[in-house]
Amino acid sequence: MEKLSARRRAYDRTMRTLLWLAGGVTCALLVFMIGYIFFRGVPNLTWPLLSGQTSYLKNTIGILPNIVNTLYIILVAMVIVLPLGVGAAIYLTEYATSHRLVAVIEFATESLAGIPSIIYGLVGMLIFVQFMNLQNGILAGGLTLVIMILPTIVRTTQESLKTVPQSYREGALALGSGKWHMVRTVVIPGAVDGIVTGCILAIGRIVGESAALLYTAGFGLVLNDFMTALHSSSATLTVALYVYASERGETAVAFAIATILLLLTLVINLTAGIAGRRLKRL
């Protein structure tokens, strides 16, 4: 190989170093984040904390209500958004005949996707809490999240509906199937991997959301049954983390919650990956 000039060799070496440096910084950052959260959080992750409630009288702190609230809000939001989002996506790819309407709906869902969650929180508070008078609670929070994750569901479903070959549809129709029957027996089964992945990603977003929930679901730390929680202020894990960290100075509890959230994120990422691959093979 011919010899490079000193300048070119220096350039090559500097750039190569910078690339490794950037990769190293990103890696270090990640190792630090995860390591630090586990280091501070795992020792505080005790059974009384996980299974108890916060009470001023008994001077206890427990995050069971927040775990339960997180599950409630996932349930409420997904039950509403799943049929709505999948339905909208099916309409867009299977039924819509007007290109203009499709363009408008796609533009709308894309715009929704870029709006920051604090705006959803603001509008959710205005519409659901003040205008519809639902009070702070799981219902208002869940409905706000529905608007927020609708675009995710619509888009992922649409993408996977588009991968179902047109010939399958034509085959089904040629065999005398009606449109809905074709959608139910051919199109949806063929697209189920994308729909499931979209749902898992949406759940991930719900678990990590806080700004949209502060003034819609509220900050309540009391354990309620489902029907009561719908209409009473209920903090999810992320909101509870915020409350404990910045308003109560309970750093240990905050880090314990952060550990749980980190583990949840990891599980959700892995499940989304596996679900996507596994269902595709079915």
Partner 1 sequence: MEYGSLENMAASSPERVADAAAVPHRALIKTGGQKPLEVVMHALFLLCGILAVGFVLVISVYLIVSGVPAIRQIGLWNFLSGEVWEPTATTRDPSFGILPFILTSVYGTAGAILIGVPVGLFTALFLSKVAPPKVAKAIHGAVELLAGIPSVVYGLVGMIVLVPAIQKAFHLSSGACLLAAVVVLAVMILPSIVNVSETAINAVPREYEEASLALGATEMETLFRVTLPAARSGVAAAVVLGVGRAIGEAMAIVMVAGNVSNMPSLLTGVRFLTTAITSGMSYAAVGSLYQQALFSIGLVLFLFIMLINALLNLFIKRKKEG
Residues 58-87 that bind partner 1 (CB under 8 A): 83-87
| Exposed / middle / buried, residue 109 (Cβ in 10 Å: 0-12, 13-18, 19+) | buried
Q: What is the nearest approach in angstroms of partner 1 to the Cβ of residue 65? A: 17
Compute the distance between CA of residue 195 and CA of residue 189 in angstroms, rounded to an integer: 10
94 CB contacts (<8 Å, ≥6 apart)?
A: 161, 169, 179, 183, 187
One character per residue 2-31, x = contact with partner 1 (rule: CB under 8 A):
x-x---x--xx--xx-xxxxxx-xxx-xx-
What are φ and ψ of residue 21, in 5° steps? -60, -50
Q: What is the nearest approach in angstroms of partner 1 to the Cβ of residue 270? A: 9
Compute the distance between CA of residue 274 and CA of residue 281 in angstroms, rounded to an integer: 11
Q: Which of 49, 140, 229, 254 binds partner 1 (CB under 8 A)?
A: 254
Residues 204-243 that bind partner 1 (CB under 8 A): 204, 207-211, 214-215, 238-239, 241-242
179 binds partner 1 (CB under 8 A): yes
Q: Which of 63, 67, 73, 88 binds partner 1 (CB under 8 A)?
A: 88
**Which stretch of DSSP H or E encloses residue 266?**
helix 251-281
Locus of tokens 């990640």: 30
Q: Which of 52, 64, 94, 222 binds partner 1 (CB under 8 A)?
A: 94
224 C-beta neighbours (distance < 10 Å), count: 19
Helix (H, G, I), strand (E, B) or coil at 150: helix
50 versus 104: smaller Cβ distance to partner 1: 104
Q: What is the nearest approach in angstroms of partner 1 to the Cβ of residue 163? A: 5
Q: What is the nearest approach in angstroms of partner 1 to the Cβ of residue 172? A: 6
45 binds partner 1 (CB under 8 A): no
Compute the distance between CA of residue 139 and CA of residue 216 in angstroms, rounded to an integer: 9
Q: What is the nearest approach in angstroms of partner 1 to the Cβ of residue 58? A: 26
Q: Which of 45, 71, 74, 173 binds partner 1 (CB under 8 A)?
A: 173
